[in-house]
Amino acid sequence: MLEKIKTIITRYADVNPDDITEESRLAEDLNLTSFAVMSMMGDFEEEFDITVDESQLTDIYTVGDIMNYLKKMKEEN
């Protein structure tokens, strides 16, 4: 799952996928804007066949947060 997340992130962040870790912060480390994060979530919806609840995105700060959120959503579907 982490590799798929990294692939999607690199569509929006000018960063080497090998430099992305679960601890990487979306804004501070990857320089992602809130618009980029929202667009990225659309890609995650398609890739993982889930529906993202935008109200829950305020608690997502790191790549690990994304991974945990996606796992939770997959379990609920």
What's the CATH code of the domain at 35? 1.10.1200.10
Is pLDDT at 44 greater than 90 in this prediction?
A: yes
- Which region, left, alpha or beta, applies to residue 69 given φ > 0 means left and ψ of -120 to 50 means alpha? alpha
pTM: 0.89
12 φ/ψ angles, rounded to the nearest 5 degrees: -115, -20
Q: What is the mean pLDDT of residues 6-31?
A: 96
Helix (H) or strand (E) holding 66: helix 63-76
Predicted pLDDT of residue 74 = 85
pLDDT band at residue 48 using 50, 70 and 90 as cut-offs: very high
Is there a contact between 52 and 59 (Cβ–Cβ < 8 Å)? no
Orientation angle between helical segments 63-76 and 34-48, nearest 10 degrees: 40
- Give the total number of structural domains in the chain: 1
Which residues span the domain enclosing 69?
A: 2-76
Predicted pLDDT of residue 40 = 94
